[in-house]
Structure 1
Amino acid sequence: MATESGTKENPWKLKTPPQTSEYEMYMDEKDGKEILVCTVGKTVLYYDYRCIGDLHAMLKRHGDWMELGSADEQKPAKEGTVEAWGRSADNPAGGWYGLKKGYRGRFGMYIPPLMEALGLAEVEHHPRNNRMRAL
């Protein structure tokens, strides 16, 4: 992946794990904090940028495949999934990595393909129940 990717002018162009939808992500700053801006159609989501390193470290410790378990903020996340970890009080952020109220979920849908593009993880691309593991 080119190092100049991930900017507002040259965002990462990604596909959801099932390869059914395209979206873009780039790094930006908001309120003095590094964030990931994720644009899906007309919807814009924000994630704490540190989630990339934190998720990679957790997956390394986990040492095996982990189900993504993507869910909207309003729905409970399946226990033991990347989505559940991304909103757990036990993660390094102490809760949600999603930063935009009402749109904090879908961590397990949008962060794993970015990590795959960055060479940090392997992600499955089945119609459903995809998993990821650290590289």
Structure 2
Amino acid sequence: MSTVQGTKENPWQLKTPPLTSDYEMYKDEKDGKAILVCTVGKTVLHYDYRCVDDLYAMLKLHGDWMELGSADEQKPVKEGTVEAWGRSPENPVGGWYGLKKGLRGRLGMYLPPLMEQLGLAEVEHNPRNNRIRAI
């Protein structure tokens, strides 16, 4: 078994910010591009791997706590949240970090615990309205 975490053989074992659901993530490659594969139950989401560095840079610049604001792709999103940033034309990729049409949302739910695991950020673990800040 691989000792390197974040691979298909040894994915990061994570919990959603309210600590209510388990999921796993690992880094992979698709069409020559680094991606994050996020498996939640039977659902598999893909995000552009750049989101890790880009979110960290944005949070460092923001300099304070930011609401996560997680939402499905089809749902409206609260401005000024990680979720809004993850789909904004103003972010470094000019839109969605999610790569699977119909399942491009939820960046605000699944990316922050990985950022915490990697030692890049602090995440609150309340029942709702959690926030993140860069370390």
Range into which the TM-score falls when normalised by the shorter chain: over 0.9
The answer for the alignment partner of 2:68 in structure 1 is: 68
Q: Distance in 1 between matches of 2:41 and 2:19?
A: 15
Instruction: Find the counterpart in structure 2 of residue 12 from structure 1.
Output: 12
Match of 1:126 in 2: 126
Deviation of 1:3 after TM superposition, in Å, equals 6.8
- Unaligned 5+ runs, structure 2: none
Q: CA deviation at 1:76?
A: 1.1
**TM-score normalised by L of structure 1:** 0.98
Point out the more displaced range, 2-11 or 39-48.
2-11
Report sequence identity in percent.
Answer: 82
- Secondary structure of 1:110's partner? helix
- Alignment-derived partner of residue 97 in structure 1: 97
Count of aligned pairs between the two proteins = 134
Structure 2 CA distance, aligned partners of 1:107 and 1:3? 26
Query: In structure 2, what is the equivalent of residue 117 of structure 1?
Result: 117
Name the aligned partner's letter for residue 123 of structure 2: V
Q: Does the residue aligned with 1:114 lie in a helix, a strand or coil?
A: helix
Listed one character per residue, the Cα deviations across residues 18-75 of structure 1 (whole Å, up to 9, x for unaligned) are 0000000000000110000000000000000000000000000000000000000000
User: Counterparts of 2:9 and 2:89 in 1: how far apart (Å)?
Assistant: 34
SS in 1 for 2:90: coil
Distance, in Å, in 2 between the alignment partners of 1:114 and 1:93 is 20
SS of equivalent to 1:56 = helix
CA pair 39-93 structure 1, distance change in 2 beyond 3 A: same
CA distance in 1, matches of 2:38, 2:107: 10
The answer for unaligned runs of 5 or more in structure 1 is: none
Secondary structure in 2 matching 1:88:
coil
In 2, the alpha carbon distance for the partners of 1:123 and 1:93 equals: 24
Which amino acid letter does the alignment assign opposite residue 13 of structure 1?
Answer: Q
Structure 1 runs of 4+ aligned residues shifted over 2 Å read none
Structure-to-structure mapping, 1:80-91, within 5 angstroms:
80-91=80-91
CA spacing shift, 1:101–1:63, aligned 2, 3 Å: same
What is the distance in 2 between the residues matched to 1:43 and 1:133? 27
Q: Distance in 1 between matches of 2:127 and 2:8?
A: 30
SS at match of 2:53: helix
Q: For the residues of structure 2 that align with 1:17 and 1:30, how far apart are their CA atoms?
A: 27
